[in-house]
Amino acid sequence: MSFRSASSTTKRPVIDDPLTLALLPPRHESPDARSRRMRAEEEAKRVSDAIDERLREEKAAAKKKNVVRLLLLGQSESGKSTTLKQFLLLADNRAFAAERNTWRLIVYFNLVRSIRVIVELLEAEIAPASEADLDYGELTPTSRDPDVMQHAQTVKELRMRLSPLLHVEQQLISLMSLSEEADSAPAVRTPPMSPPNSPSSTSSESEFFVRPNSNWKRNLSRRALRFSKPRSPKSSSISSQPADGGIDWDDKDDPGRVVVAFADDMKRLWEWKVLKRVLRRQRRRLEDEGGFFLDDVDRITSRRYIPTDDDILRARIKTVGVTEHEFTLNRPNERPVDWKIYDVGGARSQRAVWAPYFDDVNVIIFLAPISAFDEKLQEDRRVNRLEDSLTLWKELFSNPVLKEVPVVLFLNKCDILRAKIEAGIQVTKYVPSYGDRPNQFEAVMKYFKTKFDSVRKQSPVISERPVFTHFTSVIDTKTTASIIGHVGDMLIRENLKSSKLL
């Protein structure tokens, strides 16, 4: 809305439009009258501009009011993107239908990466002692497992034999990178985060990521379907690719062909007792790590493999930057609610971008993977992952902007926590304050919750603000759907209390 003043000129233009004429200044206007008129017009313009501004603000507020804006926070691999996938599935149970062929490639990528991690673990075990391995007290190499050392030649041959399979990882990275370059946002591999001499700084420490909103999935899917390019009339009648994707047996470049060809090698390697010994020695539980598919080799290497929803939830691709997703959730007997979810990267280098979202969201889900009590941060091998989660949680509660924002805490990866406890891992060894409490799943869960509760209670800013805590395993669709329902109910209750939300 704006008022326009017609300019007063001494010489009146010849105008035959009646409305324009009506707005012209009076014919014989005195200087006083002219300045009064000009002041009035300026005032009218000021009022008009103020109204314009208020309308803009009201429109933006109304727009915000109808949308629940949710920010997912937590360290890397805490389960943020997996939680987002659960929301998308809940909004539309066919959410992944068009993406399965893309996820097939990601599952292969995760599977082959596990093989590379294993080969590198074995190689590190048989490598000649380096300076980093020396025990400076005694000036002797740290003890090597002779049972493993006697397989040194086998390990060397293994890399040779598996090289076509290891090459698939590079092939898939190129495909994903090219997909990104198509959107002029090239993908980058994260550099190893540990100090160069750290024993754990093998190349398996670096992790591939894709940039947000770069349409990498769509492009990768298109590239995946390149494998089903138009065939000659002779071959088009009998296509060896399933209609919804899967391996194209006519294309020698389809990565699935190599993955299938190495199925037995992968299974044998995973069952190799020497490997199990190395993993035990290094206290490495690959089966608890994101994107682990070695227990499903038979299924994944079947000739017509299409990922299930569960596979997609378990597949791992690291987030960098912030991705935004909008959708509508319809719940029985409730009015539909529009959601906008911000999924951020959780690695340390990514956390600087979180704060600007704090005052623009009306709920935060913070994910803390409590199974990580015995793990170190990939970015800094000196820091325990549970400690890092608590530090982040503390920082969240010292931010005054969040006084008004309800926070939901997901103490996540409870399934892995249970598996670790059942495997006999002693919590007190990694968390000495646990003392001689029973090394039992429920007791450990409760103890970790009290730690998060006490951080909140000590917060100088928001100690009174209620926090809604859930024990979660966000790869589990059924329980996560019900927890998401509770989050929705909580928002409605909070809305009634404060009339600020929804």
Residues of this chain that interact with Mg ion (CB under 5 A) are 80-81, 319
318 labeled part of a ligand binding site: yes
According to CB under 6 A, which one of 347, 386, 408, 444 is a site residue for ligand GTP?
347
- Binding status of residue 245 toward ligand GTP by CB under 6 A: no
Name the 3-class secondary structure at 115: helix
Contacts to ligand GTP from residues 441-460, by CB under 6 A: none
Measured between alpha carbons, how far apart are the two ends of the chain, in Å? 29
Cβ burial, residue 394 (10 Å; 0-12/13-18/19+): middle
According to CB under 6 A, which one of 101, 114, 362, 412 is a site residue for ligand GTP?
412
Single out the residue of 247, 239, 230, 236 nearest to residue 100, CA to CA: 247
Question: What is the spatial distance between Cα 316 and Cα 24, in angstroms, rounded to a whole number?
Answer: 69
Name the residue number minimizing CB distance to ligand GTP: 290
- Nearest distance in Å: CB 345, ligand GTP: 5
Torsions phi, psi of 207, nearest 5?
-130, 135
Q: What interhelical angle do 441-458 and 414-422 show, nearest 10?
A: 130
Query: Do the Cβ atoms of 293 and 314 come closer than 8 Å?
Result: yes
According to CB under 6 A, which one of 69, 70, 71, 79 is a site residue for ligand GTP?
79
- Which residues, 6 or more positions from 315, have their beta carbon under 8 angstroms from its beta carbon? 103, 106, 107, 110, 291, 307
Q: Which is nearer to ligand GTP, 105 or 126 (CB)?
A: 105
Query: Do the Cβ atoms of 222 and 98 come closer than 8 Å?
Result: no
- Binding status of residue 307 toward ligand GTP by CB under 6 A: no
Question: What is the spatial distance between Cα 217 and Cα 220, in angstroms, rounded to a whole number?
Answer: 5
217 labeled part of a ligand binding site: no
- Binding status of residue 214 toward ligand GTP by CB under 6 A: no
359 labeled part of a ligand binding site: no
Question: What is the spatial distance between Cα 409 and Cα 60, in angstroms, rounded to a whole number?
Answer: 29
487 binds, among ligand GTP, Mg ion, none (CB under 5 to 8 A by kind): none
- Binding status of residue 323 toward ligand GTP by CB under 6 A: no
Per-residue b/e over 368-385, b at no fewer than 16 CB within 10 Å? Answer: bbbbbbbbbbbbeeebbb
313 labeled part of a ligand binding site: yes
Pick the stretch among 73-81, 237-245, 331-339, 450-458 that binds ligand GTP (CB under 6 A): 73-81
Maximum pairwise Cα distance, the chain: 111
According to CB under 6 A, which one of 77, 205, 309, 374 is a site residue for ligand GTP?
77
- Binding status of residue 420 toward ligand GTP by CB under 6 A: no
- Nearest distance in Å: CB 419, ligand GTP: 8
79 binds, among Mg ion, ligand GTP, none (CB under 5 to 8 A by kind): ligand GTP
- Binding status of residue 259 toward ligand GTP by CB under 6 A: no
- Binding status of residue 480 toward ligand GTP by CB under 6 A: no
Question: What is the spatial distance between Cα 338 and Cα 87, in angstroms, rounded to a whole number?
Answer: 12
Residue type, 273: K
- Nearest distance in Å: CB 370, ligand GTP: 10
- Nearest distance in Å: CB 54, ligand GTP: 39
- Binding status of residue 246 toward ligand GTP by CB under 6 A: no
98 labeled part of a ligand binding site: no
Q: What angle do CA 53, 499, 52 make, to 5 degrees?
A: 10
- Binding status of residue 389 toward ligand GTP by CB under 6 A: no
Query: Do the Cβ atoms of 315 and 110 come closer than 8 Å?
Result: yes
Count of residues that interact with ligand GTP, criterion CB under 6 A: 25
315 labeled part of a ligand binding site: yes
Pick the stretch among 240-248, 257-265, 311-319, 386-394 that binds ligand GTP (CB under 6 A): 311-319
Q: For 228-241, give the secondary structure using H, E and C.
A: CCCCCHHHHCCCCC
- Binding status of residue 221 toward ligand GTP by CB under 6 A: no
Pick the stretch among 77-85, 90-98, 135-143, 462-470 that binds ligand GTP (CB under 6 A): 77-85
- Nearest distance in Å: CB 273, Mg ion: 35
Single out the residue of 226, 228, 212 nearest to residue 171, CA to CA: 226
Contacts to ligand GTP from residues 287-306, by CB under 6 A: 290-291
What is the DSSP pairing of strand 140-141 with strand 134-135?
Answer: antiparallel
- Nearest distance in Å: CB 44, ligand GTP: 53
Residue type, 102: T
- Nearest distance in Å: CB 344, Mg ion: 8
Question: What is the spatial distance between Cα 411 and Cα 380, in angstroms, rounded to a whole number?
Answer: 22
Query: Do the Cβ atoms of 475 and 415 come closer than 8 Å?
Result: yes
473 binds, among Mg ion, ligand GTP, none (CB under 5 to 8 A by kind): ligand GTP
Which residue in this structure is represented by tokens 């590079």?
Answer: 170
Per the annotation, where are the binding residues for Mg(2+)?
Answer: 319
Residues of the shown chain interacting with ligand GTP in the complex, contacts defined by CB under 6 A: 74, 76-82, 290-291, 313-314, 316, 318-319, 345-347, 412-413, 415-416, 473-475
